[in-house]
Amino acid sequence: MKIKIRSGFLGLVVLMAFAGCGGGGAKKDPGGAIDLDSVEVPDLGDASDVVKPDDLSDAVDTDDENRDVSEVDAEEPDLNEPDDSASGDADSGEDVECVPYCGPEDDPYECEDDGCGNLCGICQYPKVLCSRERKCVEYCKPECDGKECGTDGCTGYCGECQSNEVCNDEFKCVLKDCKPECDDKECGPDKCGGNCGHCGEGEICNTAFECTEDLNCHDITAAGQCIGNQLLYCQNAQLVREDCDAIPGMVCTYSHAGQTHLCTYPEVCQPQCEEKQCGDDRCGGSCGTCPDEQVCSTVGVCGPPCGDVTERGACLYHDTTLVYCSQGILLEIDCSAYRLYCKYDPTMHGNEGGYDCLP
């Protein structure tokens, strides 16, 4: 509703309010009365211009076009409409029998769960891994030690060379226009990332790039070691080799009396097969042979071959089992039996890293 009031009447009201508040610089007597002589009263004009209360009805604008009326239709919910959330079927309470599934009949799964808490199968050596297709496959560990490029022995690559390089036979990236320098060299680097040649077993490449006999003792001590029918022992910090076949009838064996290895005749040789299943009896004979698909370890114990697994090990069966190569055979440890997991430990093997059963 809008009310129209003339400006003269409104000015009088404002002036009276202003005077009542003591504004406008009016002087006051000690009793607090206002000095009306000091108040300037504006000319309000003709009093007939003031709107009287009886005329207020004419000042009201009742035009429908000026009214701000908005009607909101509130849609009330229909209480008689059924609730879909409560219309579902009630649980019958009956147990549903689990039906195991291990793939199609023409191509069944070989491993993993059958959906009912049992297994479709267990992978056996050498196929010890269960693939995403639920097939047993052989474990393949990438071999990239000392490689800059080339294949990793499985399905990947150890690295890629630059556009101006090629991968040579030593798995090193070399320049395409590099010319190897191997004049009068039997071994050693060719200055292009490759080698001029490789020395044979028991030989080393000397400073003149010639292959000579390796006389370093390495891990062989004065007590010696038998390799085949050859005796090796360390003397004066140099490796000494003796071929027991040089004297007919002699064999390389270990003497308990002298606690050393030596070349001796079989007549005085005592076979050493205690706690051994296979291998040399140190008297030219054998302690036994291993079954098919097994090999003899360096300590005379039969076991599966290591294959691509090294002494650093690997994790199988969703990190529950540790496998590693030890003395020429593959060993397996069930980490879950000790409430442990197969994990990578970078501090093992002289900080070169390896796998072990860890919390």
**Count helices and strands in the chain by DSSP H and E runs:** 3, 20
Which pLDDT score, from 0 to 100, does residue 219 have?
84
Quick: pLDDT tens for 294-353: 999 988 999 999 988 998 899 988 889 999 999 899 999 999 988 899 998 888 877 788
> Average of pLDDT values for 55-72?
48
275 pLDDT band, cuts 50/70/90, is confident
User: What are 197's two structure tokens?
Assistant: 């040649």
Which pLDDT score, from 0 to 100, does residue 194 have?
77
Q: CA-to-CA distance for 49 and 350, rounded, in angstroms? A: 110
Long-range contacts of 214-221 (CB under 8 A, 24+ apart): 214/239, 215/239
The SS3 of residue 19 is helix
> Average of pLDDT values for 27-37?
49
Of 236, 288, 283, 291, nearest in space to 261 by CA: 283
Which amino acid appears at position 330 of this protein? L
> Average of pLDDT values for 131-140?
80
Q: CA-to-CA distance for 203 and 212, rounded, in angstroms? A: 5
Beta bridge partners of 226: 231
Which pLDDT score, from 0 to 100, does residue 27 have?
45
Q: CA-to-CA distance for 235 and 276, rounded, in angstroms? A: 30
Which pLDDT score, from 0 to 100, does residue 79 have?
52
Q: Going by DSSP bridges, is the β-strand pair 173-175/165-167 parallel, antiparallel, or unpaired?
A: antiparallel
Q: CA-to-CA distance for 98 and 113, rounded, in angstroms? A: 13
| Range with lowest mean pLDDT among 152-156, 175-179, 194-198, 349-353 | 152-156
More confident residue, 20 or 95: 95
**Does the pLDDT of residue 357 top 90, yes or no?**
yes
71 pLDDT band, cuts 50/70/90, is very low
Quick: pLDDT tens for 212-222: 888 888 888 99
**Does the pLDDT of residue 84 top 70, yes or no?**
no
112 within 8 A of 118, measured Cβ to Cβ: no
Q: CA-to-CA distance for 177 and 237, rounded, in angstroms? A: 45
Which pLDDT score, from 0 to 100, does residue 196 have?
86
Q: CA-to-CA distance for 265 and 252, rounded, in angstroms? A: 9
Q: CA-to-CA distance for 224 and 242, rounded, in angstroms? A: 11
Q: What are the residues whose beta carbons fall under 8 Å from the beta carbon of 46, sequence distance 6 or more?
A: none
Q: Any idea how long the chain is? A: 359
Q: Domain segments of the chain: what residues?
A: 7-65
Q: Tokens 């009838």 map to which residue?
A: 249
Q: How many CB atoms lie within 10 A of CB 90?
A: 5
Q: CA-to-CA distance for 217 and 27, rounded, in angstroms? A: 123
> Average of pLDDT values for 40-55?
52
